A and B are shown apart, each in its own frame.
Chain A
């Protein structure tokens, strides 16, 4: 709910979709780059496609932009089938990974480029005024006459952004726009992008392989792998309830353990781990497998001394300890399980007195934490 238009739309219909993928596939020769994508992009939201290179996220974006026609399926933007609409007639604009600014034009000419393509032509005065206004939006007021190569990377990115948003697209597509910036500038740009989206109320679709970027910026994240959508949800959902191992591994740090189901009841499974420890873990998979994978986040576990809580604790030895200020990361070797990570907050550590490398400890697993993962299909 970022803008008034979004709120209005939300009242008339729960979620109005600005774009929809309906069973969209894309083949490049024998390679299936996108595999039956089905996804609705909500008007006004900030959606990220997140995944490693080759997962199909860029293909999805390029299909939205109109650079790649889908091999199968239907793609709609603003409730219009896009199958016969070329990129130059789509109501979307893109910020390219390496900006793709026109080197033979000034900053102002670059920004005004889209407006100059309109037919019937817009009056020159109007184009000039809108260019100036947009330059001011991205805080480049006095840069209109500059040449592209006179700008820094961050400034070039603002020009690319201005060149896209001046056209008031239905969707702004961002193809890893922060990848070429250094870390400090990246965080700054991320904030600016969020502010900009709030002001403009345009739907933003971001492609990124950087999970932190996706988590910090997105209303929803679409996690992709092997050309498919693995899970769509808001950052908390993805972190708390990853559907499968792939998602669990991709969003945040995850301990993934093998387990054998002893009993299932009321959305929980009683599971015995290879260490012999019995734990009670939430289970929403609704399947009946005996051998399952369980994910538990490092901060959901805690440490106790070797002689405490034998029944529901995993015996382990500390192999690494990294103090990180507000919390401490422990890497442990657990019998029959292997490496596990436990993060202890500062207070918990101080209370227990801390543990050193080589200490024998017990990893405590509170009932009801963790999650049974669905089989990867």
Chain B
């Protein structure tokens, strides 16, 4: 009995295990090995063992700086925009409209981010919002190809990923807790701070983590809306692997990014655990 059970378990876990090894562990090992190698003169990878690539990392400082400022900033902006939206959807909208509005939040996902980002080129470009502002008497504002444009693009692209976890946390918030707070003498704004916000923190943390991780790997939006001036690490990787074909250096950049991410995620997980210790019942992530 125990034998068949453990065999069944192994069988059921096999696809996931295989997937994990071939698509995660193996490529990661390759990247790690490449990062200690050298650039093949004709492009690609040449075996070797040197720390030269890591010593060269500062030459890509700008990409790291942009990623590590715009990704947190984008996460924060997305959070600030997503929270009221999620709150409205979870606590204010009548049930009749809820589904429709939730679908509207996802609708943008049905079109490629590439096409949607091109739409923003127009909106932020000379004939778009700046032209509108000019008509209002605000002259020569440049939006496209600035960090701001990239920020707008990433907030726009990742908003739904922030909205949904927060929405779920708020949706399952027991509404009688708000009645109870009010009954005990708490005006609405204070009960938001004391009850709603703390109890929706799991959603906030999940959404922020999700958006932040994906943002650090982003390359499409900076490429399109940053116009080659606002580079992310993702763009550096595309450049190193596809253009200059310096696989060894590219691997080192990738490893550096992974290490930074691991540190950030570990800090984050600790913050969540500290939260979780006080509210197991709400369910974390």
Contacts and interface: CB of A to CB of B under 8 A. Distances in A.
Interface of A: 65-67, 86-89, 92-94, 96-98, 100-104, 113-114, 117-118, 147-149, 163-164, 167
Contact of A100 (B174, B185, B186): B174
B186 A117 contact: yes
Given A96-B176, A98-B176, A102-B177, A88 B280 contact: no
B278 interface: yes
B278 A104 contact: yes
A89 B184 contact: no
Contact of B176 (A100, A113, A167): A100
A87 B182 contact: yes
Interface string B249-285: 0000000000000000000000000000011111000
Contacts of A149: 280-281
Contact of A88 (B176, B187, B199, B278): B187
B183 A103 contact: no
Nearest to B175: A100
B279 A88 contact: no
Interface string B227-238: 000000000000
A158 to B, nearest CB: 16
Contacts of B281: 103, 148-149
A114 B184 contact: yes
Nearest to B275: A104
A102 B183 contact: no
Contact of B279 (A67, A86, A103, A118): A103
A113 B185 CA distance: 9
Contact of B179 (A96, A104, A114, A163): A96
Given A103-B281, A149-B281, A167 B180 contact: no
B195 interface: yes
Interface residues on B, range: 20 to 34
Given A92-B183, A104-B282, 6 more contacts: A66-B182, A89-B185, A101-B180, A103-B199, A103-B279, A117-B190
A94 B195 CA distance: 17
Contacts of A93: 183-184
Contacts of A113: 181, 184
Contacts of A100: 174, 176-177, 179-180
B84 interface: no
A97 B183 CA distance: 14
Contacts of A87: 179, 182-183
Contact of B186 (A66, A88, A101): A88
Given A88-B187, A104-B279, A149-B280, A96 B180 contact: yes
Contacts of B17: none
A94 B186 CA distance: 14
B128 interface: no
Given A100-B174, A100-B177, A103-B282, A94 B199 contact: no
Contacts of A167: 184-185
A86 B181 CA distance: 12
B47 interface: no
B27 interface: no
